[in-house]
Chains A and B, each alone.
Chain A
Amino acid sequence: SAVISQKPSRDICQRGTSLTIQCQVDSQVTMMFWYRQQPGQSLTLIATANQGSEATYESGFVIDKFPISRPNLTFSTLTVSNMSPEDSSIYLCSVEGGAGGEQYFGPGTRLTVT
C-alpha cells in the first residue's frame, strides 16, 4: 500500500481566510480523492482528482470553495476558501491502490475555523 502524508496535520484559522492542504504519495498513482469528515460523522467525498484533468466534484461541493490542484502523479492540494466555522472538519486525501477499487488514506488535516 502507498505511504501518504498530509500537511498541515492541524490548523486553527480565522473565518474568511483560506487554507491549502497538501497531500504527498510515495509512489505514482492515477486517482486521488479528497474527503471531508465532520465531527462524529462518516467520510464524505469532496472530489476526485486525476492528473492532467480537472477535478470532478460531488454534489454539494464547488470548485470556487474547494479548488484542487493535481500537478503530477504523486501530489495534490485542496484549498478551503473563504472559511466559516461550518468548514471545521477533518480533511483526508486518499489514493486508489488495488484491483478492486480499495483506497488508502492519509492521516488527515484537522481544521478548526474560529
Chain B
Amino acid sequence: GQQLNQSPQSMFIQEGEDVSMNCTSSSIFNTWLWYKQDPGEGPVLLIALYKAGELTSNGRLTAQFGITRKDSFLNISASIPSDVGIYFCAGSPAAGNKLTFGGGTRVLVKP
C-alpha cells in the first residue's frame, strides 16, 4: 500500500543536539500525526496537527503541518538519551479514514 516518504531512515543523536525529521506525500492530508515507538511497545501519539501551516509543540518536540498539506516535520530540541526510539509520521484525509504511515526514523545514540 501507499507509504509516506519519511527521512532520514536513521540518525544518531548526541545529548543536547537538536534533530529534525520530515515526511512527504504525493497526496493531501487533513491530519498529520507523529508517533514514537519504543522497543516492545505500541506507538504512542506525540503530536496531532489539523491545519495547514499549524505549528504545535509538546515539551521539547515541535511539529509543523506543511502549507501544501503534503508534508510535515518533527523537531526534537536538546535531545536526551530517552529520545532514542523509532518515530513514525502518519497522515489521514479525515476522521473515519485509515492512516497512511511513513517508513519510520530510527533515532540512536552516538557511541
Which chain A residues have a beta carbon within 8 Å of chain B's beta carbons? 1, 4, 31, 33, 41-45, 48, 58-60, 92, 94, 96, 98-108, 110
Contact = CB atoms under 8 A, between A and B. Distances in A.
Contact of A107 (B31, B42, B97): B42
Interface residues of B, number: 28
Interface in B86-108: 88, 90, 92-99, 101-104
B67 interface: no
Given A98-B48, A100-B92, A103-B99, A42 B104 contact: yes
B43 interface: yes
A1 B43 CA distance: 13
Contacts of A96: 95-96
A42 B45 contact: no
B77 interface: no
Contacts of B35: 105
Nearest to A31: B96
A2 B42 CA distance: 13
Contacts of A59: 1
Contact of B45 (A1, A60, A99): A1
A100 B103 contact: no
Contacts of A104: 45
Contacts of B94: 100-101
Contacts of A108: 40-42
B1 A44 contact: yes
